[in-house]
C-alpha cells in the first residue's frame, strides 16, 4: 500500500503527463498574474488567455499539487450545506439567486471545458447521487431537491430500490440525483486545464512560489525566487494551501486534513455490482462517506480519522468496517493507495470572493465542492480581471475576515469528527 503526503499516488499513476512549465527566471511584465495552479488558478488563466490577455500563472509545485490533485473527483453543482432558499435568505433574492444560478451551472462548465479542450480525465457526467444514510434525512433531501427543481436544475428524487440499484449498496433509504454532476480523474483534469491554458497563450511556471506581493507605482509586483512579475491585476487562487503571501488570507478559512483510500481493483464480477452504472456519491453523513470507482475499478473512498497519527492502520481498519457495512459483497480487500489533502472550509460552508486591494482578487473556501465551484470561481476571477460584473457579482464580494483563535480552530476542527460520527449514528 502506498501512503503519500504528495498528490495522490493513484491519480499521479493514472493521469496524463503534466505540461512543460519551467520555473520563472527573470523579470516579466503581464496584464494579470495568477498565484496557484489548481482548478481556480488554471481556469482563471485559461479564460484570460482565451480573451487575449497576457497572463502569467505561478505555482509553487506543479499543476494539481494542492487539493485539485488529491480529491475524490466528484463534480457537484450544489452547496455543501445550504439549500437555495437559505442562500436567498442570507443574501437577499437578487444576490442569492445570482449565486444559485452560478452554482447550478458549475458542473456543466467543468464537463463543457473537458469536451471542448479534449481533456482526458475519465470524465463521467452520469449524475451525482446523494443517498440518505437514515430515513430521517430524506426530508432534508426532498427540500434540497424541490428547491433546486423550482429553479430548473436537472434533479430527481430516487426511491429506495432505485438507489440500491444505482449504488449497489443495500443500506440507503433513497435520496436525490443531480443529473449535471458526475466524476472525473481529478489530477488529469487539472493537468488538462494547464495544457489548455498554455495552448491558449498563458505562461505557466511551476516550482515558482510567489514569495512577496508589493505595490510598485500603479502596478503590483510579485517576487519569486529567481524573478518577478509586474501586472495590473493579481488573482490569488491558493485556497487551503494559502501561505503568508497576503496577510490574514490563510486565517480566513479552516484547512481540514482529509484522507482518501483506494482498494485494489475489484474483480469484474464484484465491480459489476458496485456502482454498476459508474456513478459517484456522497451520502448524508457529516463524517463524509463518499464512493466512486476509478477507471480500473478501484473503489475510492473518503475517510476522516480522528487524528492523523498512525493513519495507515486506522484507515485500513475503519475503511474495512465501512465496506462491510456499505458493500458486503466486496470480499476482504487489499488497499493500494492512501493519501491526504487539505480542504478549505468556511464557517458557513459558502465560497468566498474578496477584492483585497484595488486589483488584487481572491476566491477560496469551497468546503469540499471545489471541482465545479473552483472552476467557476476561476472563470469569475478572470471576468473580474477583465473589468466585468460591476457590483452584480455572482459570488458576493465580502470583506476578508480572519477567524478568531485560528490556531486553536484547526486542531479543534478534528474534534468535530467525533461529534459528526455521533450525529450520524443518532440519525
Ligand atoms: C481529500 C479531498 C477530497 C475532496 N473531494 C472533493 C470532491 O469529491 N469534489 C469536490 O468538488 N471537491 C473536493 N475537494 C475539494 C477540491 O479538491 C478543492 O476545493 C479544489 O481542488 C480547490 O482548487 P483550488 O485551485 O482553489 O486550490 P488547490 O487545488 O489547493 O490549489 C492551490 C495551489 O496554490 C499553490 N500555492 C499556494 N501558495 C502559493 C504561493 N505562494 N505561490 C505559488 N503557488 C502557491 C499550491 O501549491 C496549490 O497547488 C476535496 C479536497 C480534498 C483535499
User: DSSP label at 236?
Assistant: E
More confident residue, 169 or 391: 169
Residue that has been written with the C-alpha cell 434533479 in this structure? 155
Confidence of residue 34 (pLDDT cuts 50, 70, 90): very high
Residue 328 domain flag:
yes
CA distance 183 to 295: 11
Q: Which of 2-6, 146-150, 313-317 has the lowest mean pLDDT?
A: 2-6
Please choose from 3, 11, 71, 302 the residue to mutate so as to test ligand 1's pocket, defined by most ligand atoms within 8 A of CB. 71
Q: Give the residue from 357, 351, 364 showing the smallest Cα distance to 395.
A: 351
Q: Which ligand 1 atom is at minimum distance from the Cα of 42?
A: 25
CA 112 – ligand 1 centroid, Å: 21
Stretch 264-290: mean pLDDT: 94
CB atoms within 10 A of CB 163: 26
Task: Please name the residue whose Cα sits nearest to atom 11 of ligand 1.
Answer: 369
Q: Is 166 in the pocket of ligand 1 (CB under 6 A)?
A: no
Residue 215 domain flag:
yes
Q: Which of 240-249, 285-294, 357-366 has the lowest mean pLDDT?
A: 285-294
Is the confidence at residue 5, as pLDDT, over 60? Answer: no
Which cell numbers hold the place of 133?
A: 444514510
pLDDT in tens, 346-390: 999 999 999 999 999 999 999 999 999 999 999 999 999 999 998
Residue 182 domain flag:
yes
Residue 423 domain flag:
no
Please compute Rg for the chain using Cα positions. Answer: 21
pLDDT in tens, 185-234: 999 999 999 999 999 999 999 999 999 999 999 999 999 999 999 999 99
Q: What mean pLDDT, rounded, does the chain reach? A: 93
**pLDDT (0 to 100) of residue 259:** 87
Stretch 290-295: mean pLDDT: 96
Confidence of residue 103 (pLDDT cuts 50, 70, 90): very high
Residue that has been written with the C-alpha cell 470583506 in this structure? 399
Task: Please name the residue whose Cα sits nearest to atom 41 of ligand 1.
Answer: 210
Is the confidence at residue 24, as pLDDT, over 70? Answer: yes
Q: How many domains does the chain have?
A: 1
More confident residue, 312 or 5: 312
CA distance 288 to 69: 19
Please choose from 15, 66, 75 the residue to mutate so as to test ligand 1's pocket, defined by most ligand atoms within 8 A of CB. 66
Is the confidence at residue 7, as pLDDT, over 70? Answer: no
Confidence of residue 312 (pLDDT cuts 50, 70, 90): low
CA distances from 103 to 60, 151, 160, 193 (A): 28, 12, 27, 20
Name the percent of the chain lying above pLDDT 70.
96
**pLDDT (0 to 100) of residue 4:** 47
pTM: 0.96
Task: Please name the residue whose Cα sits nearest to atom 25 of ligand 1.
Answer: 38
Residues with Cβ within 8 Å of 425's Cβ and at least 6 positions away in sequence, in order, are: none
Is the confidence at residue 3, as pLDDT, over 60? Answer: no
Residue 273 domain flag:
yes
CA distance 106 to 181: 9
CA distance 363 to 56: 17
Stretch 259-275: mean pLDDT: 95
Confidence of residue 6 (pLDDT cuts 50, 70, 90): very low
Confidence of residue 32 (pLDDT cuts 50, 70, 90): very high
Cα atoms in the Cβ-side hemisphere of radius 13 Å centred on 98: 13
CA 328 – ligand 1 centroid, Å: 33
| CATH number of the structural domain spanning residue 325 | 3.50.50.60
What three-state secondary structure class fits 408?
helix
Range of the domain at 61: 2-410
Is the confidence at residue 421, as pLDDT, over 80? Answer: no
Stretch 312-316: mean pLDDT: 75
Confidence of residue 44 (pLDDT cuts 50, 70, 90): very high
Q: Is 343 in the pocket of ligand 1 (CB under 6 A)?
A: yes
Residues with Cβ within 8 Å of 290's Cβ and at least 6 positions away in sequence, in order, are: 72, 74, 280, 281, 282, 283, 301, 302
**pLDDT (0 to 100) of residue 401:** 95
Residue 418 domain flag:
no
More confident residue, 142 or 288: 142
Residue 102 domain flag:
yes
Q: Is 232 in the pocket of ligand 1 (CB under 6 A)?
A: no
**pLDDT (0 to 100) of residue 378:** 98
Residue 416 domain flag:
no
CA 34 – ligand 1 centroid, Å: 14
CA 66 – ligand 1 centroid, Å: 4
CA distance 256 to 72: 15
Is the confidence at residue 267, as pLDDT, over 70? Answer: yes
Stretch 108-136: mean pLDDT: 97
**pLDDT (0 to 100) of residue 310:** 63
Q: Which of 58-72, 235-249, 276-290 has the lowest mean pLDDT?
A: 276-290
Q: Is 341 in the pocket of ligand 1 (CB under 6 A)?
A: yes
Task: Please name the residue whose Cα sits nearest to atom 31 of ligand 1.
Answer: 38
**pLDDT (0 to 100) of residue 305:** 64
Question: Within 64-158, where are the H helices?
Answer: 84-91, 93-104, 106-116, 138-150
Q: Which ligand 1 atom is at minimum distance from the Cα of 210?
A: 42
Amino acid at each position: 500500500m502506498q501512503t503519500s503526503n504528495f498528490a495522490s499516488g493513484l491519480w499521479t499513476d493514472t493521469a496524463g503527463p503534466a505540461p512543460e512549465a519551467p520555473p520563472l527566471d527573470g523579470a516579466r511584465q503581464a496584464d494579470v498574474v495568477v498565484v496557484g495552479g489548481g482548478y481556480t488558478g488554471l481556469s482563471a488563466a485559461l479564460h484570460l488567455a482565451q480573451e487575449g490577455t497576457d497572463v502569467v500563472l505561478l505555482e509553487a509545485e506543479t499543476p494539481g499539487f494542492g487539493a485539485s490533485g488529491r480529491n475524490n473527483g466528484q463534480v457537484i453543482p450544489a452547496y455543501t450545506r445550504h439549500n437555495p432558499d437559505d442562500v436567498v435568505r442570507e443574501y437577499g433574492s437578487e444576490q442569492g439567486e445570482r449565486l444559485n444560478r452560478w452554482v447550478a451551472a458549475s458542473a456543466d462548465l467543468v464537463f463543457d471545458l473537458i469536451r471542448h479542450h479534449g481533456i482526458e480525465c475519465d470524465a463521467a457526467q452520469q449524475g451525482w447521487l446523494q443517498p440518505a444514510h437514515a430515513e430521517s434525512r430524506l426530508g432534508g433531501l426532498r427540500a434540497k431537491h424541490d428547491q433546486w427543481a423550482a429553479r430548473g436544475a436537472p434533479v430527481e428524487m430516487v426511491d429506495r430500490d432505485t438507489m440500491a440499484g444505482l449504488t449497489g449498496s443495500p443500506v440507503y433509504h433513497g435520496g436525490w440525483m443531480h443529473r449535471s454532476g458526475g466524476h472525473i480523474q481529478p489530477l488529469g483534469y487539472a493537468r488538462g486545464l494547464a495544457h489548455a491554458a498554455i495552448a491558449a497563450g498563458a505562461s505557466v511556471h511551476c516550482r515558482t512560489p510567489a514569495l512577496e506581493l508589493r505595490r510598485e507605482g500603479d502596478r503590483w509586483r510579485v517576487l519569486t525566487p529567481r524573478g518577478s512579475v509586474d501586472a495590473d491585476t493579481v488573482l490569488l487562487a491558493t485556497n487551503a494551501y494559502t501561505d503568508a503571501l497576503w496577510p490574514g488570507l490563510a486565517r480566513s478559512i479552516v484547512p481540514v486534513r482529509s484522507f482518501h483510500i483506494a482498494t485494489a481493483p475489484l474483480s469484474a464480477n464484484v465491480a459489476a455490482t458496485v456502482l454498476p452504472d459508474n456513478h459517484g456519491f456522497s451520502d448524508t453523513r457529516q463524517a463524509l462517506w463518499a464512493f466512486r470507482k476509478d477507471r480500473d475499478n478501484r473503489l475510492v473512498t473518503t475517510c476522516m480519522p480522528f487524528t492523523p497519527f498512525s493513519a495507515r492502520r486506522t484507515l485500513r481498519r475503519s475503511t474495512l468496517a465501512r465496506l462491510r457495512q456499505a458493500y458486503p459483497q466486496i470480499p476482504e480487500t487489499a488497499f493500494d493507495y492512501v493519501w491526504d489533502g487539505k480542504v478549505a472550509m468556511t464557517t458557513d460552508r459558502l465560497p468566498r470572493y474578496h477584492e483585497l486591494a484595488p486589483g488584487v482578487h481572491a476566491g477560496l473556501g469551497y468546503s469540499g465542492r471545489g471541482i465545479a465551484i473552483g472552476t467557476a470561481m476561476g472563470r469569475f476571477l478572470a471576468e473580474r480581471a477583465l473589468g466585468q460584473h460591476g457590483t452584480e457579482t455572482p459570488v458576493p464580494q465580502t470583506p476578508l475576515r480572519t477567524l478568531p483563535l485560528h490556531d486553536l480552530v484547526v486542531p479543534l476542527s478534528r474534534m468535530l469528527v467525533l461529534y459528526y460520527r455521533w450525529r450520524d449514528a443518532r440519525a
